[in-house]
Amino acid sequence: MFTLRRFDVPVLDQDAEPLRILHLSDLHMMPEQRRKQEWVAALAGTDPDLVVVTGDNMASPYAVPGVLRALEPLLDRPGAFVFGSNDYTGPVWKNPLQYLMPDREYVQGAELPAEDLRDALTDAGWADLNNARTIVKAGGRSIELAGVDDPHIDRDDYSLVAGPISTGADLHIGVSHTPAKRVLDAMADDGFALLLAGHTHGGQVCVPGYGALTTNCDLPRQMAKGLHRWPGSEAWLHVSAGMGTHPTAPIRFACRPEASILTLMPR
């Protein structure tokens, strides 16, 4: 039940024209998932100004062609990406109840072809934001982007991108796969107006009227998906509930697989 969410985000200057961002996350692609690939590819019809992918693209060593089949119609748009843990190593079977244990040990699976995917995306002109900072042109604007590699497996190094936002850019966006508090606080303190993340799967299995049982990180469960003001700051946070699941637990309940169109509006 793939779903396209739409949010208006008031982060632009008063007289600015709206700007549209397509936020994709957590594809967890398997080679045979053609319907998912076709649905993502059709999102080119939403005509985004910028595409941001927040990691966990693969669930198989053979998934790169499927990921690229999904993203190919979007690769001619300005884009940027970070990786998640399931871009580097594949999933292994685990008891799903372990996700309710905050101090559980992270177990890595088979090595995934992260460099093949990275090369394909950068060759298409997309910005690699894994512990990197850059400015891209999109929608007639200069957009400053800063990102970190996945905090969930301690690959983040915010010191490499830290510093106040550039006064020469029209918009400033921070990007991380895992919405870890230490990263979001640092980005908000530096002045980034919009923060984008995935990882949580929106809780994946939710209780109607209660919501997510866990976010699999230190993000409050009430912020497991959607648009929220980041506490203690002027920044907005959008967490995508993502498109996929762990392949050994392909179940969502009260939490549809999703992509999001963020229409950035004047404050």
- Tell me, what CATH number does 221's domain have? 3.60.21.10
H or E segment and range at residue 187: helix 181-190
Whether residue 219 lies inside any domain: the answer is yes
In angstroms, the CA 27 to CA 126 distance is 18
Q: Residue 208, class by beta-carbon neighbours within 10 Å (0-12 exposed, 13-18 middle, 19+ buried)?
A: exposed
Residue 207 domain-assigned (yes or no): yes
Indicate whether 98 belongs to any domain.
Answer: no
* pLDDT higher than 60, residue 234: yes
132, part of any domain: yes
The pLDDT-based confidence of 32 (bands split at 50, 70, 90) is: very high
pLDDT (tens digit per residue) in 47-105 = 999 999 999 999 999 999 999 999 999 999 999 999 999 999 987 666 565 565 666 66
pLDDT per residue as tens digits for the range 136-191: 999 999 999 999 999 999 999 999 999 999 999 999 999 999 999 999 999 999 99
**Looking at the domain assignment, is residue 96 inside a domain?**
no
Q: Quick check: is 32 in a domain?
A: yes
Number of compact structural domains in the chain: 1
For residue 157, what are the domain limits? Answer: 3-91+106-266
| 14 domain-assigned | yes
Residue 267, classed as helix, strand or coil, is: coil
Domain contains 101: no
Other beta carbons within 10 Å of 226: 16
256 exposed, middle or buried (CB, 10 Å; 0-12, 13-18, 19+)? middle
